[in-house]
């Protein structure tokens, strides 16, 4: 599904140039669950942003489903993103002014799904995430664990092929964290490819493979058995 080759990303200020990704290459197959680990500043989030087409690389190639997307313009990236990729963030990133139902509905609105179909699909996914009873609540009325369930519901409602999770349990206690990891595992078992950035060895163990980064380069890969 994903093949990146010699990917480079620099951050420049007037005086300093920082290398975030240094000729990084990797592949992720369809249906895989990959964890990316490494110390702060190693380039994990930069990599995730590029994989999610939120940012573009300075050099190198990024093939997504055999299409070169490294130098797509914003509109093309947005189009590809909304049909193929779901995001889960550490800080949930729910919109405070929208209810649980409306937050989950949002990606369907942007992909032009008709209203009746939207209601059906949102209810389906809320049911699956066991958060249906909170459908009319606002994010700030929910616990952290519930908010992350809503965020996951929102990430999967469009049935994306790939879910990118950026430290999805970082703001949760261990019990809620485990629940979230179970959910991601279930999704993966149903065929969704998952790439997750994490600091937690515990969470990484849910994955099939761990890629460890240091200074923008892959330093090790562990296959989980």
Partner 1 sequence: MIRNYFIIAFRNIRRNMSYAFLNVFGLTLGIASCLVIFLIVRNELSYDAFNHKADRTYRVTLHALDFNSNISVAIVPAMRLDFPELEQVTQVFFQTDGLIKVGNNRYDEKNFAFADEHFPAVFDYQWIAGNPKTALAEPNTVVLTESVAKKYFGQKDAMGQVINVDKQFPLKVTGIIKDVPGNTSLPFTFLISFITIQKDFNHNFWNIPGGSYVYIVLPKNQSIKNIQAKIPAFIKKHWGDDIAKQATLPLQPLKDVHFDQRYINNVVTPTSRETYYVLGGVALLIIITACINFINLATAQAIRRAREVGVRKVLGAGKGQLIAQFLGETTVLVLLALFMGIAIASIFLTRANNILGININASQLGEPVVMECIAGLTVLVILLSGLYPAFIQSAFQPVDSLKNKVGISTGGLTLRKGLVIAQFAISQILIVGTIVVARQMDFFENQNLGFNKDAIVTVDIPDVAKGEALKQQLLAEPGIKDISFSSAAPAYSSNFCPFSAKQLGYPKDNVTELKNIDERYIDMFGLTMLAGNKVAKDDTLHHVVVNETLIHDIGIQDPQKAIGQQIEVNGNKVAITGVVKDFQSESKHKKIRACVLMYDHSNFYSVSMLVQPAAMRQTIDHVGKKWSAIFPDDLFSYQFMDDRIAGFYRQEQKVYTAFRLFSSIAILIGCLGLYGLISFAASQRTKEVGIRKVLGASLTSIVALFSKEFIVLIGIAFFIAAPLGYYMMNNWLQNFAYHINIGAETFVVAISASFIIASVTILYQVTKAALANPVKSLRSE
Q: Summarize as ranges the residues that interact with partner 1 (CB under 8 A).
A: 49, 52, 54-55, 74-75, 78, 81-83, 87, 89, 93-98, 102, 106-107, 109-111, 154, 158
Round to whole Å and give the CA distance between 86 and 18.
Answer: 29
- Minimum Å gap between C-beta 201 and partner 1 is 25
Comparison of 93 and 171: residue with beta carbon closer to partner 1: 93
Comparison of 155 and 183: residue with beta carbon closer to partner 1: 155
Comparison of 52 and 177: residue with beta carbon closer to partner 1: 52
Determine contact, residues 6/60, Cβ cutoff 8 Å. yes
Question: For residue 139, what are the contacts with CB-CB under 8 A and spacing of at least 6?
Answer: 92, 94, 95, 96, 98, 100, 103, 147, 150
Tokens found for residue 109: 């609105």
- Minimum Å gap between C-beta 202 and partner 1 is 25
Helix (H, G, I), strand (E, B) or coil at 27: strand
Determine contact, residues 218/212, Cβ cutoff 8 Å. yes
- Minimum Å gap between C-beta 49 and partner 1 is 5
> Pairing between strand 33-37 and 209-214?
parallel
- Minimum Å gap between C-beta 117 and partner 1 is 14
DSSP state for residue 57 in the 8-state scheme: -
Comparison of 161 and 209: residue with beta carbon closer to partner 1: 161
Give every strand in the sheet of 209-214, ordered side by side: 85-88, 162-166, 193-197, 33-37, 209-214, 217-223
Cα angle value 13/15/18 (rounded, 5°): 55
Comparison of 105 and 179: residue with beta carbon closer to partner 1: 105
- Minimum Å gap between C-beta 113 and partner 1 is 11
- Minimum Å gap between C-beta 2 and partner 1 is 18
Comparison of 74 and 189: residue with beta carbon closer to partner 1: 74
Return the bridge partners of 186, or none. none
């Amino acid at each position: 599904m994903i093949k990146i080759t010699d990917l480079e990303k620099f951050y420049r200020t007037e005086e300093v140039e920082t290398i975030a990704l240094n000729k990084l290459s990797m592949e992720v197959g369809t249906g895989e669950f990959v964890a990316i680990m490494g110390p702060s500043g190693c380039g994990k989030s930069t990599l995730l942003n590029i994989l999610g087409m939120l940012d573009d690389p300075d050099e190198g190639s990024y093939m997504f489903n055999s299409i070169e997307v490294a130098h797509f313009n914003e509109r093309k990236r947005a189009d590809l993103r909304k049909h193929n990729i779901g995001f889960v963030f550490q800080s949930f990133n729910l919109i405070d002014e929208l209810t649980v139902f409306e937050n989950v509905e949002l990606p369907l609105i942007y992909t032009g799904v008709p209203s009746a179909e939207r209601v059906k699909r949102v209810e389906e996914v809320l049911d699956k995430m066991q958060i249906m009873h909170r459908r009319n609540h606002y994010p700030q009325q929910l616990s952290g664990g519930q908010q992350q369930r809503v965020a996951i519901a929102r990430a999967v409602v469009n049935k994306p092929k790939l879910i990118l999770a950026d430290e999805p349990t970082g703001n949760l206690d261990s019990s809620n964290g485990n629940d979230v990891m179970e959910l991601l595992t279930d999704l993966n078992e149903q065929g969704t490819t998952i790439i997750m950035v994490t600091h937690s060895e515990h969470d990484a163990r849910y994955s099939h493979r761990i890629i460890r980064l240091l200074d923008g380069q892959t330093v090790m890969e562990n296959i989980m058995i």
